[in-house]
Structure 1
Amino acid sequence: MLRTAMNDLHTLRQQIERHLEGHIVWLERDHIHLHDGLSQAIRCSTLAERAVYAEALCQLLRSPDIRHRTGAIAVLADVMPPLCSDRALTCLGQIPAQPPAWNIGYQNLEQAAAITLAAKATPDDGKTLDWLKSLVLQGNYADFLWEQIARLDPAWLMQQAHHVEHKILGVIAALPESQRTAYIATKAPWPPEVPTVVTRAFWQRFSERERHRLRTLMYPSEQTNQTVFVYQIGSEHAPDDPLGLETLSLTTTGRLFYERKHHGQVWQQQTTVESQLQETLKTALVEAKTASTAKLHIPPGAGLVQIRYGDQQACVDYYQGQKLPGYAQIIQIMDAYLQEFRSHQEVVS
């Protein structure tokens, strides 16, 4: 990689401008966007060199050339520190919500700058914090910024809690532990939880004890009717799957919920099952885990079955699973319920 002469700020700025204008100065095989080479050059620099990069980028943040502004904003996080959020905001000046010159992962430059500065800000960056507060109160990029504001000024966030949507769960994790209870109470009642990859990742941010405490506060009615077992098969959008994604969820009270999603349509049903089903499934999963000493091979294009019981998770090919201890029993039981639900379906959306 070409190393820049770092003893001349003016020279460095010219090199960055040339690079962002398409006259490539920094290039490696894996670079995709124009700013990739610049970003790598900064990350490979010394602390002293990085300070010079920061000054050069500060000058480019106000450039009338959209390519310069796009590149400077795209790599802003790489020079923070030594650059602080308040200084970067001063360099940015007025930030129009205009599209970037190329894809930098955000719809416009204002959004990119706001999210970068918010993530790097400290409570001492008062000017940045005031700007972020004005953005969220206007409804701009709130989904991305509320969590950082909770970290930077939890007292102000508590005053504005009525503006925060329930779906922005990250606010809870960002708040000091002493304020989480008050925030949850302020936002009550909470809508029923919809388990997704995002929500599962969110709850992993807490200790088991804190997770249980928060869930009890947020979903008190669900504590007596928790989902303990989930069985999924199929794919919602696969063109060769005639049934789509089917999910069976068993609760502690013996309710079995069925949901099928296929190309935008949703079917839902529920029924009451025998009290011993939960224990039967738990025993079968333990047997499956005990018998499967090696990692299961899942062939390409397989019909995957995903199973979750409490904190235990398993994934197995549908046809392979029918030949394995434990899994075979689970698949057989769930298949029977699936067949029953499929014969009585009504579209709900």
Structure 2
Amino acid sequence: MRWARVSVVTTHEGADLIGNILMELGAAGTEIDDPSLVNEYIDAGLWDYTDLPRAEDTDTVTVRAYLPEDERLEGSLLTLAERVENLRRAAAAIGAAAISHTFVADEDWAETWKAYIHTEKIGEHIVVRPTWEEYSPAADEIVIDLDPGAAFGTGAHATTAMCLRWLERIVSPSLRVYDVGCGSGILSIAASKLGADDVVAMDYDPVAVAVAEENIRQNAVSNVRVLQSDLLTACAGMPPAQIIIANIIADIIIRLFGQLDRHLAPGGTLLASGIIDDRIVDVERAAAEHGFVVLDITREKEWAAMIIRRSADLAD
């Protein structure tokens, strides 16, 4: 499979707006090329040696994302152009917002991302280590070895990081966990290593399913299964889960509420993330309409993660 590497030249103020659009069009992550950061590193002396010149134009940044070359690509590119134009008409500070794209193969995509992914500790115990780096963990650290491949999800993005921190708090032994839209499988692996008894990872994208399966093998977590599924449809006939994770986007989370009663155990928790700030109210409204309530919200940058439970369970 080939991927379209989509680039949008914008401003610092516009980077998050453009990034949100790309995520909602199906990109699993974004890369921001910010020349001012290079200058900051040079000035701070954080590199022993660099031959990089200081950037002269620090007012513009480039936001990049990868979209699969499939039947949806043309429509996604047209939608991107339309939404960028809508931002321009609304006088959003997005600068030129010039859009371009090139094509790369799977292996080129993976190699490109290696330059931006490094070992990172997230939360109190979880360390995410890309498979090409060495790391010696402390005694209380839980290491997840990860090769995101063509299904991005490393813990570096705020939505995933918030989920990992919540999982440290809510996962306990004997729990069953369903991970909807599992991507690279990072959250399923974390749930298993934190003590969950049975974990089912699901994704609609067959590429993500293959990548998650490989990451699960890499981490030797034998109690995690991966299924190709539209939301929770593949769980028909399975016992309900005590925790359901949905690190996707607001519109898909809103769809998910219609399936929760069949698949979330009494007293269970929905951990929902991937929600941009201006969609929080929409998710809260959908939760209430289906008999659920948002108990807690954490925010990072312009993203939110929610802890959601049934209203009836709280009354018991």
Q: TM-score, normalised by structure 2?
A: 0.28
More helix by share: 1
Pair member with larger Rg: 1
Larger RCO (alpha carbons 8 Å, 6+ apart): 2
Q: TM-score, normalised by structure 1?
A: 0.26
More strand by share: 2
